[in-house]
């Protein structure tokens, strides 16, 4: 039987989930929050700020870019490592938009009020537009292994409501069947519809435990529907992924000197 603390921790996460669903005053878990009518983006980003590792910078989004000048579509929330440059001149009070290099970005989130087919496809196109990360060759120690860096950043879709889970699963499978050109590494890791379900993309080494207790191996890239404790699952998986990426980012040599070169070479 688990210690009492873990019962309290579970209750804490469930209380946080009620705030994310909009069923409780945001101030109930955000001690410095006075605006009960905070937007969903602000509520979710504030939750990440309070719970992700301190190495994570969380801000309302904008877009990601790479050193070739490619840009993503608009993203709602961006989480970067603490060594990535920040461009917040137009986002001083947190209500504006910013942008960030994809190198050094740990996670992104697309926030929806109601996740239907149209809103799902909008979010999927936004995630698909994220520029690729560069090879880690020569940027980490020879004895360090970071798997699936091409799958960074961790990609989240969060919604406070949505259509039935199996229907959404059917839509996402149909979308990628119609658009096979979108690489698996530019598809969401997790889709969390608060209070209803979570869709998890299977990654290498992941096992799925069914409600019966049976552990099954699924093909990487496929999506698995989880309806048991969806809010708990949606919260802990995201925080775990950000913690893992934040830890791994300390082993990567990030250099942004190309930013200087690119800007200085402009006419």
What does the pLDDT read at residue 11? 84
Dihedral of alpha carbons 72, 160, 38, 238, sign:
negative
Give CA torsion, residues 199, 204, 209, 214, to 10 deg: 140
The string of pLDDT tens digits covering residues 72-118 is 999 999 999 988 776 665 555 555 567 789 999 999 999 998 999 99
What does the pLDDT read at residue 149? 95
What does the pLDDT read at residue 37? 42
Low-confidence ranges of the chain (pLDDT < 50): 1, 27, 33-37
What does the pLDDT read at residue 35? 47
């Amino acid at each position: 039987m688990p210690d009492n603390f873990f019962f309290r921790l579970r209750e804490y996460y469930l209380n946080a989930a009620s705030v994310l669903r909009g069923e409780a005053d945001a101030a109930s878990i955000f001690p410095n929050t006075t605006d009960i009518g905070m937007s969903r983006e602000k509520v979710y980003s504030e939750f990440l700020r309070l719970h992700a590792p301190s190495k994570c910078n969380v801000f309302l989004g904008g877009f990601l870019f790479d050193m070739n000048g490619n840009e993503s579509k608009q993203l709602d929330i961006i989480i970067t490592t603490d060594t990535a440059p920040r461009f917040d001149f137009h986002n001083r009070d947190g209500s504006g938009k910013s942008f960030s290099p994809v190198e050094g970005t740990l996670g992104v989130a697309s926030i929806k009020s109601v996740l239907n087919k149209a809103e799902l496809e909008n979010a999927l196109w936004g995630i698909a537009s994220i520029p690729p990360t560069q090879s880690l060759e020569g940027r980490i120690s020879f004895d360090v292994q970071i798997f699936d860096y091409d799958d960074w950043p961790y990609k989240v879709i969060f919604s406070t409501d949505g259509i039935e889970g199996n229907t959404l699963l059917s839509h996402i499978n149909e979308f990628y069947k119609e658009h096979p050109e979108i690489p698996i590494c530019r598809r969401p890791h997790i889709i969390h519809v608060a209070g209803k379900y979570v869709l998890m993309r299977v990654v290498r080494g992941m096992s799925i435990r069914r409600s019966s207790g049976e552990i099954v191996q699924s093909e990487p890239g496929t999506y698995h529907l989880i309806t048991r404790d969806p809010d708990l699952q949606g919260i802990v998986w995201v925080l775990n992924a950000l913690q893992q990426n934040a830890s791994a980012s300390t082993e990567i040599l990030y250099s942004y000197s190309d930013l200087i070169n690119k800007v200085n070479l402009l006419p």
